[in-house]
Structures are given as C-alpha cells and as structure tokens.
Structure 1
Amino acid sequence: MSQVKVIGIDLGKSTFHLIGHDFSGREMFRHKYSRSMLIDFLSIQDKTIIAMEACCGAHWLARKCKSFGHEVKLIPAQYVKPYVKSHKNDYIDADAIAEAATRPNMRFVSVKSEEAQLGIVIRRIRSGYIKERTACMNRIGSILLEFGLSFPRGHHQMKNLFQWIADQKELPPLLLGELTAQFEYYNQLNTWIKEQENKLLALNKENEVAKLLQTIPGVGPMTASCCISAVGSPQDFDNGRNFAAWLGLVPFQYSTGGKPRMLGISKRGNKELRELFIHAARAVMWRDNTAEKFFGTWLLDLKCRKPFNVALVALANKLARIAWSVMTTKKAFEVRV
C-alpha cells in the first residue's frame, strides 16, 4: 500500500467506490465501501493523495481526510469527464478522478471550512423562504382576483391587505378566514427571513475579511458572506480577472481560425454570487453622486455611451475584481482621488 500515489473516490449517498493508482498510473486496487468502512479504510492508510469530484458531501470528507494527514484534491466534475473511458460506471468514474488528479495543469477546488458551509446552508434556507413568501403573496393575489379584486403589486402593499379589502367590497366570511391564514403564514415567513439574516450577521461578526469586503461600494453583509463561503481560497485565482471570469461576468469567447468572437456574458460559475454582485452594481449605478465619488467619471461616461445593463455588468465585473484584491491583500477598499 505504500506505493499508492493517488486514490480516486467516486462519491455516493451511502456507497463509495475507490481505485488506487501507483506512481506509474497502474491500478493497484479497487474497493466498494459504506461510509463508515470508508472512514476506517482511510484512517489506516499511509499519507497519500485523495482525489474526489467537488460535489455534494465532498468538503466534509475532504476535511476528514485532511485530519488523517492525507493531501486532498477536489476537481470540478466537468474537468473529470474527458478522462472517463468508454461506458460509465462507478469504478470507471473513480479511475477517471484518480487520473485527472495527476495532470500537471489540472484546476482544483479549495476545501471549504465548516463555517463557510454553514453560511451556505443559512443563505439557501433564506432563499427558500423568500421564494415561499413570493408564492404566498401571489396566492393571495390570485384568490382575490377570482372574486373580482385586483390587489396591487409589491410586498409593501401586504401590510394593508385587510384595510384594502374593506375599502373594496364585502367578501364571504369563509374566504376571509382563508386569507387570514395565508396572511399569517406570509408574516411568519418574514420573521424567518429576518432570523436567517441575523444568523448570517452573527456568523460573520468576528470575520475580519467580511468587514473588509463591506468597505466596497454596494457590497453588504449578504454579498460579503457569499464571497467568503463560495471562495475557499482567493489564491485559487491568479488575479482579479480570473475571478471575474469564474463568476461569469466576462464575455463568452468563441474564436477559431484566428478570428476572435466575443458573445454575451458567459454566466458560468457561482450563480448566487454573480447575482449579488449585479445587485451591488445596481445599488451604485442608481446614484450618480455615489458612482462619481467612488469611480470618477469612468462610470458616468460608460452610462452615457452604453445601455444601462451593459454598464451594470461592467461595474459588477469591477466590483468582483476589487473583492478578490481585498480578500487577497486583507486591506480595505480605498477611494483613489
């Protein structure tokens, strides 16, 4: 076993398939384990490279392997696919993972900390509550529409729901009971959303990087928290341009035969973080005084020359590059006059 260079693990919910390669790339063993058996197996192995796809459950297992002294390499699933030979099964996938991990130019994903994963969980639950709240509001509007009432759009209208109904027409008591139940559920969702936001604030209260990120114009606690959770290590990116490209805030390139062709933004990478940077840019763009204060005439001239959304994405790209610099240098954003 001391000759094992890399162990590729194909992750599953309850079963895990392993293949070990020696230093010449030959297969040395293949095993199928349950979760508890896998932990026992890895705990007695000599220190080696453990390779996995960066998917569900990978970061927890990676931290476990690191505690045993192993070197862990997490690979994006799309980079493993070219190494899958012929048909697809769990052992072939594990073999492809082990081979991909040995490539000199392979790109890897940093292992996320437990705190970073907790931040992701809290934000996902909050996003679910927001979707349910919107669905509840639409449900109330559709019920009223069936009885000839067109309720005004927007969450700010919901607090005056029953006063608005009373001003319109009399409704059946049973219908009012149903609307009351939905309205109470809507208010409960608002409470839960606020609780999730407070949890995020408490989680990042002592995080210095989160405080530094919030010095960037338009970046608030939610964007800062998402940055810390999504980016395991800013050193994974050579520069801010690579970070912005990873987020999908650059044009998609389709060039061949020496003819460059740039399309719309690629929208690849972390969808949540890209969306938050877009919102951050929009918060800055709406206020000309703020835009000029932090970015000079560059942004105002861009707004005049280009459509609003084009300028918006350009500013989001700039904010992402600034965020990478702040995370790398551990220095607050400063306005250069």
Structure 2
Amino acid sequence: MEQITARPIVRVGVDLAKRLMQVHAVDAVGRVVTARALAREKFLPWCAQLPPGCVVAMETCGGAHHWARRLRAMGLESRLVAGHFVGPYRMEGRRGKNDANDAAAVCEAAGRPHMRFVPTKTAEQQAVLAVHRLREGVKEERTACINRIRGLLAEFGLVFAQRPEVLRTELADVIEDASNELPHLARVALQRAQLQWSELEGHLAWCDERIAAHVKTDEQAKTAAQLMGIGPVTASALAASVGEFRQFRTGAQFGAWLGLVPSQHSSGGKTSLGRITKRGDDYLRTLLIQGAKSAVMTAHKRRDRISQWLVQLTARVGWQKAVVAMANKNARILWAVLARGRRFDADHVSVKPDGCAMAVPATAA
C-alpha cells in the first residue's frame, strides 16, 4: 500500500460509520497531514502504517470499543471520547456538522491535556452488558404484552387487579369459561397472547440466570452485591460497565459520573445547587435509585449506622431526597471498597485525614 506521508503522524481523529471512516491526522505541531474518507475494509490496513504508539481517537458510539481493541492490538494508543466532549471542538459549530468536521473535532479533543477518556471495554464486559440490554428489552415487551391482554379483556367487560400475578392466575380460567361473552376468535387470540407472555417470562428467567452466574464468578460484582440496596442485577451492571474503578480519583467523582450530584449555577462566591445532573449511564443510575428506594423504605427495620442515618435523613428532607442521597452514598462506598481494595462494613465510621482536601468516600454523609 502507498505510504501515508513523509511527515510523521502523532494523532488521528476518526469519525466511525458503517461503511466509510473519516480520518483526520495531524503531526506533532498540530498541522494537518491528511484528511480523507476510507472504506471500512481499508481502515485497519491504513492504520497499520501509522507509527507505533500513535494516538487514534474515536467518539464513543456503536462499535467504538471493538475498533479500540483492534487498534490496541496493533500497538496503537486508542482513545475514546464521549460525544458531549467532542461538540465544543467543532470549529464550524452545530450547523457545520459533517464527517470531516467531526473527525477534526475528535482529533482536537483527544489532544487536550485535561480531556477525560472512556476506558475501552473488554469483549467479556460487553457480553455481560448484552444480557442486560436483552433483559431490559424483554421487560418492556412483557409489560406491553400484559397491557395488551388487559385491553383485550376490558373490551368484553372483564377487568382484573393490576398485579400481573392476579391476571396470570385468572387468564386460563377466563379463556376456558364458556359463560362469558368471549367469541371463539377472541379466545384463540388470548391463548396466543398467553403463550407469548410465557415465552417472555422464559427469556427473562434466562437473563436472570446469566446475571446471577456473573455475580458468582466476578469478584467486583460479588463485592458490590454486599451493599445495602444493590442486588445482583445492579452489581453485575456496575462491574461490567465500569470495570476499573481506579479510573476515578474519588468516590465523589464516581457519583458525579453517574449523575447523582446536584447541578450547579454558581457565581461570585455564591453557591447555587439544583437538581441532580442525571448525566452518565441512565441504566446504572436507575438501578441505583431503585435499590436505594428499597433500602430507604425498609431502613426502620434495621439497626446499622447507614439505616439509622437514612431514618433521620428521611424525617428531615423527605423520602425522595433520601433515596438520591442513598444512591450517591452507595456509589461512593462502592468506589471505596473496589478502588482501594477494602472490605465493606455497614458500621464503618469514616474519618477525614487532617489537611486532606479529598472528599471522604465510604459511608460519609
């Protein structure tokens, strides 16, 4: 293959796509060496000509982790940049978005000394997350199926309690009951809907079995499952999504990455805090919030320090704010035990070292 250029390339920005890869390469002083579109099958051969250790940056999207692993295996330094960090470096602004401008923005963002990059996930991590995505999709389909059955029954004056268990118990009898006004065709349709419901339950059970097996074999997930308000699904998702917890400097930074800290609009020395930012992974944050809700609602039944703190906090600020505070506390505790290799202790009392400005992780309120 023809050589790329006589000038050495030190950094490449890539805009990934299904068929065409737009590359933007610069030298050590930031001058553009080449900017071109490559067919998908020519991308890796082109990258093979780059000098060892050359930075190849991509925006996080579908397939980005796959390409990052392939490039790293070739001896290149692959970097993944979150999409919301790339936009400000597009010189043409929002209205100048195209593949070439996006590749140039990725290249520029990757060269910033304080830029934060997304760690590359392993194939095993992505496999576990695939089970989680499948489980969420099956849950949505199951809810839609149940609601569809309820709607069909309501058309014939048959209404049941909202709990799925009640409907499951009564549905077979309703289909077989000749005294109601269900026509034959409607009975057949409901039978097929019932079979679909059973099939979805089987898929969901399979996903739960795979997640439980992951928690048993993964040390990080096993440790996370010990925390109050974190069950197998949350523990597995956290271990697979985060991977290396030491990428965060503090537990507070990890909580901010999950979007569990207040947004700020502060100026002139006056601090103004708003609602939680809701940044980061929606799935992880939702799981942590749901688990924290369970911990808050049952805190009065336990006597450990965290539960006593929850009871007092709920009385002071209400259960909704207490739920978010508990989710943030769990995130910080999780960082402390996994990044520092400590054992989880529900009765631990954290002490802030003198002269240390770092936020106290673990069980600090």
Match among 5, 10, 20 for residue 15 of structure 1: 20
Q: Tell me, what secondary structure is at the counterpart of 1:205?
A: helix
Aligned to 1:30: 35
Query: How many pairs are equivalent?
Result: 337
* Offset, 1:164: 5.4
Paired position in structure 2 for 1:76: 82
Do the aligned residues in 2 keep the contact of 1:4 with 1:20 (CA within 8 Å)?
A: yes
Q: Secondary structure at 1:310's aligned position in 2?
A: helix
Match of 2:362 in 1: none
**Structure 1 CA distance for aligned equivalents of residues 22 and 284 of structure 2:** 33
- Residue 301 of structure 1 pairs with residue 312 of structure 2: yes
Alignment CA distance shift 1:289-1:67 (3 Å): same
In the aligned structure 2, how far is the partner of 1:273 from the partner of 1:106? 23
Maintained 8 Å contact 1:43/1:68: yes
Q: Distance in 2 between matches of 1:52 and 1:72?
A: 8
Matched, 1:119 2:128: yes
User: Gapped runs of 5+ residues in structure 1?
Assistant: none
User: Could you tell me which residue of structure 2 aligns to residue 4 of structure 1?
Assistant: 9
5+ long unaligned stretches in structure 2:
349-365
Instruction: Give the SS at the match of 2:118.
Output: coil
- Are the aligned partners of 1:291 and 1:300 in contact in 2 as well (CA < 8 Å)? no
Change (3 A) 1:138 1:81: same
Matched AA of 1:37? K
Give 1:238's match in structure 2, choosing from 237, 249, 259. Answer: 249
Q: Kindly indicate whether residue 268 of structure 2 is the aligned counterpart of residue 263 of structure 1.
A: no
Q: Could you tell me the TM-score, scaled by structure 1's length?
A: 0.95
**Cα deviations by residue, 1:130-184 (Å, 9 ceiling, x for unpaired):** 1010001000111111111222212211321233564983422221111111011
Residue in structure 2 matched with residue 183 of structure 1 by the alignment: 194
Note if 1:46 corresponds to 2:51.
yes
Q: Deviation at 1:220?
A: 1.6
Q: Contact 2:254/2:331 (CA < 8 Å) preserved in 1? A: yes
For residues 201-240 of structure 1, the aligned pairs below 5 Å read 201-240=212-251
SS of 1:18 mapped into structure 2: strand
C-alpha root-mean-square deviation of aligned residues, in Å? 1.8
Q: Measure the CA separation in 1 of the matches of 2:178 and 2:298.
A: 37
How has the CA–CA distance of structure 1 residues 150 and 255 changed in structure 2, closer, same or farther, with 3 Å as cutoff?
same
User: Are 1:247 and 2:254 an aligned pair?
Assistant: no
CA distance in 1, matches of 2:83, 2:162: 42
What SS class does the counterpart of residue 292 from structure 1 fall into? coil
Aligned to 1:60: 66
Tell me how far apart the structure 1 counterparts of residues 179 and 234 of structure 2 sit (CA, whole Å). 42
Q: Specify the code of the residue in structure 1 equivalent to 2:34.
A: F
Aligned in 2, Cα 1:140/1:66: closer, same or farther, shift over 3 Å?
same
164-173 or 32-41: bigger deviation = 164-173
The aligned residue for residue 156 of structure 1 is: 165
- One-letter amino acid matched to 1:24: V
Q: How does 1:134-145 map to 2 (within 5 A)?
A: 134-145=143-154
Q: Does the 8 A contact of 1:141 with 1:150 survive in 2?
A: yes
Whole-Å Cα distance in 1 between the matches of residues 328 and 59 of structure 2? 28
Instruction: Give yes or no for contact 2:314–2:322 (8 Å, CA) kept in 1.
Output: yes
Greater Cα shift, 165-174 or 196-205? 165-174
Contact 2:300 2:307 in 1 (8 A): no
Higher relative contact order (CA 8 A, sep 6+): 1
- Contact 1:284–1:290 (CA under 8 A) maintained in structure 2: no
C-alpha change, 1:294 and 1:193, in structure 2 (3 Å) is farther
Aligned counterparts of 2:304 and 2:55: Cα–Cα separation in 1: 50
Cα distance, 1:243 vs. partner? 0.9
Say whether the 8 Å CA contact 2:299–2:307 is kept in structure 1. Answer: no
Amino acid at match of 1:162: A
Q: Following TM superposition, by how much is the alpha carbon of 1:51 offset from its aligned partner in structure 2, in angstroms?
A: 0.7
TM-score, normalization by structure 2? 0.88
Q: Which moved more, 1:174-183 or 1:204-213?
A: 204-213
